[in-house]
Amino acid sequence: MHDHRLQPLLHDLVSTVRAPTTALSGTDGQIRPAGVQGLFHADARVLSQAGLLVDGREPEPVAHAVPAPGLSRFVSLARWLGDPTADPTVRIDRVRHVTPGAMDEEITVTSTAAEPVTCTVTLTLACDLAPVEVVKSGRTAAPLPASVAGGTLTWHSGRTRVTALLGAEDGGKGDGRPGATSSMSTGGAEVANASTGADPGANADADPGAGTSAGAGVVAGEGGAVLRWRVTVAPGRAVTLRWGVRVEDPEAVVAAPAGGPEWSRPRVEADDARLVRLARQSLDDLESLRLTEAEAPGDTFLGAGVPWFLTLFGRDSIWAARMLLPLGTRLAAGTLRVLARRQGTKVDATSGEAPGKIMHELRRHDYDLETSGLQLPAAYYGTIDATPLWICLLHDTWRWGLPDAEVAALLPALEAALGWLGSDGDADGDGFLEYIDTSGRGLANQGWKDSGDAVRFHDGSRAEPPIALAEVQGYAYEAAVAGAALLEAFGRPGADRWRDYAGRLAERFRERFWVAGGYPALALDRDKRPVDALTSNIGHLLGTGLLTAEEELRIARTLTDPAMSGGFGLRTMSAADAGFSPLSYHCGSVWTHDTAIVISGLARSGHGGVAADLAADLTRGLLSAAETFGYRLPELHAGDDRTLMGRPVPYPAACRPQAWSAAAAVAILHAATGLYPDVPSGRTTLRPLPGAPLGALSVRGLRVAGSPVDVTIDRSGTPQVTGLPAGMEPRPAE
């Protein structure tokens, strides 16, 4: 039996998001004082309970939906009210609208009963202002006392203030529009003290209503507060009750950007309707994850994921921006600038900072995760891959049409990042990028698979640091070549040095990483031994340029093994390895973004045959998973075989929505359509997956150098592109 605290489960919760604010509830809409449920704002839980009762009873849930960013709808029944028939005659619609720093709800009671229906509706609220790491650790925080004035409830801690507002009630049909909160109503309000154990359904006969809705009340105490409405609904009519929450949080390090999304919203038509639905939901989720720095609000990036990582994450924000480049360069430019402003300038073992290094994550205060022993400073740099990925993003954004002036402004950061590759990134001077946490309080593993047990040998034993990951060498090679191209194009010195660095890295990799099984090792350990587990990491090497064409095909063939690709996507570790578990975070599960990166690499490599077939098979696996998860693909799901249950098993602590999981939908569309522009050279390559394995597909509204571009693939696989900037007519793939 476990005697330690456990991270709360997430898989069956409904997320309503408008970053930096998120509501997490049950599928019935109830926010219960348990686990990770609550309303969160910028790394703090600002409501820990919002429980709805009708006559002291929970309504019976029947449906829920998330139809738009920041909007959720919940339908339930009060079958003990109304006519005594098999058909329910009293229905409760709960519409939740989240905006940055606020949440508003409308609770509509509709009756088709033959006689008027009278009931008491109560809403129990509590606030604990628990930091997100406390919640993630499975710990609890005591509810704060609420103060009441007029029709408002207030909680506060430090400079953070949370206010609940009791709105007006509408009689009649009820329009049900989210966010249409009426002005504050204090008429008839009853204000009294309540103990923490107060029954919110008590005194149901108090404040008798005269009309469709009357007698609003607020009761506050140390353990929470109750909003109470006495409601009478005439036959065939409805009553809508409104309430809301406002958050003042001057110490938040992230905020909502002004204006709309920085990318286009393409129109997708496809033989496989799942592609259309996945694109629609993913673009909604991406819109809801937009963030900017509170102190420098001009640049937008994507928060990594709900609820634990809704902040700036170097690796995650970079990958998501890179996947979205076919929709425009503005998000990538903002991400590049935000991270460049926080680029390392000194060596600091506690934070992992080093000159030129790109940071890992940003928090409002130090992050103490009790369950794992992590104690991270607010600005933490413990990542081995964010720096080369930043360079690759800058290069790719330039090729998609970022104006030269914006690229030039980032060249000093580029030179510093390249300098890190050849210095602190290679601490022992062996020519490979490697990591080790010397503080004893940071991340033991610092690649994208950053759990403590992620780097294992085939026999299941763990590798000891310093560790040089396979995929990171691919990123480093690509970054060196990309950096050389940028330096040369803008007349800066050093291009030859970085091309030479890339060439020598490829030679060393070929000598040291390939193992007897015919694939690259996951990593080299502290003794420079190949960590011989077969993992998805090697798929990230595809398309980086590190490998020869023959080596890329060998990897593609290796990944077609059912032990790797037999799940709904690509497993993070082969089922034939001793460390495999389908519910391991990084040793057997399927990660959406990981699979999408491999699909993109297979497409970029330009190989047909086995590579194209594998890309199509992995895509179909993700589309099947998307169906199961309502087209909001989670961070990861279990790596069980497709035949086990016919649908993926959820990973119970997976974040959803998550930026790079949502961006995977765009990566899939890009791989299928195969549009690869090079704006600086005036060339475009059009190389869709051969044979149209996903059927006919049309994506209208991509962006190349700001111009809207349409790509259509017919059922024979023949592509057509229109709208490219002048002089960039596509050429056939080589």
The per-residue pLDDT for range 138-149, each reduced to its tens digit, is 988 999 999 988
Cβ contact 629:573 at 8 Å: no
Q: Is the pLDDT of residue 180 over 50?
A: no
Q: How far, in Å, CA of 178 to CA of 47, rounded?
A: 19
Tokens 């609890």 appear where?
140
pLDDT digits (tens, 9 = 90+) for 637-695: 999 999 999 999 999 999 999 999 999 999 999 999 999 999 999 999 999 999 899 99
Please compute the mean of the pLDDT values over residues 254-272 and round it to a whole number: 97
Q: Please tell me the predicted confidence (pLDDT) of residue 716.
A: 93
pLDDT digits (tens, 9 = 90+) for 327-386: 999 999 999 999 999 999 999 999 999 999 999 999 998 988 766 678 999 999 999 999
Length reported for the chain: 734
- CA distance to 21, 146, 184, 584, 640, per residue, from 142 (Å): 21, 12, 29, 32, 39
Q: Please tell me the predicted confidence (pLDDT) of residue 730.
A: 86
- CA distance to 64, 78, 231, 590, per residue, from 87 (Å): 20, 11, 22, 43
Of 445 and 165, the one with more pLDDT: 445
> Maximum CA pair distance of the chain?
85
pLDDT digits (tens, 9 = 90+) for 153-162: 999 999 999 9
Portion of the chain with pLDDT greater than 70, in percent = 91
Q: Please tell me the predicted confidence (pLDDT) of residue 371.
A: 61
**Strand-pair partners of 700:** 267, 710
Please compute the mean of the pLDDT values over residues 225-241 and round it to a whole number: 96
- Which pair of tokens denotes residue 26? 């049950």
606: confidence class by pLDDT, cuts 50, 70, 90? confident
Q: Is the pLDDT of residue 163 over 50?
A: yes
Q: How far, in Å, CA of 320 to CA of 300, rounded?
A: 12
- Which pair of tokens denotes residue 542? 């595809």
Q: What is the pTM of this model?
A: 0.93
Q: Is the pLDDT of residue 169 over 80?
A: no
Q: Is the pLDDT of residue 517 over 50?
A: yes
Beta 38-41 vs 21-25: how paired, if at all? Answer: antiparallel
Q: How far, in Å, CA of 665 to CA of 622, rounded?
A: 9
Helices (H) and strands (E) counted in the chain, each on its own, are 15, 36
- Beta-carbon contacts of 2 under 8 Å, excluding residues fewer than 6 positions away, are none
Q: How far, in Å, CA of 569 to CA of 634, rounded?
A: 12
Domains of the chain from N-terminus onward? 14-248 (2.70.98.40), 254-719 (1.50.10.10)
Q: How far, in Å, CA of 45 to CA of 139, rounded?
A: 13
185: confidence class by pLDDT, cuts 50, 70, 90? very low
- Which pair of tokens denotes residue 449? 């698979």
258: confidence class by pLDDT, cuts 50, 70, 90? very high
The amino acid at residue 114 is A
pLDDT digits (tens, 9 = 90+) for 457-480: 999 999 999 999 999 999 999 999
Q: Please tell me the predicted confidence (pLDDT) of residue 219.
A: 66
Q: Please tell me the predicted confidence (pLDDT) of residue 608.
A: 83
Q: Is the pLDDT of residue 182 over 80?
A: no
3-state secondary structure of 635: coil
Phi then psi dihedrals of residue 417, to 5 deg: -65, -45
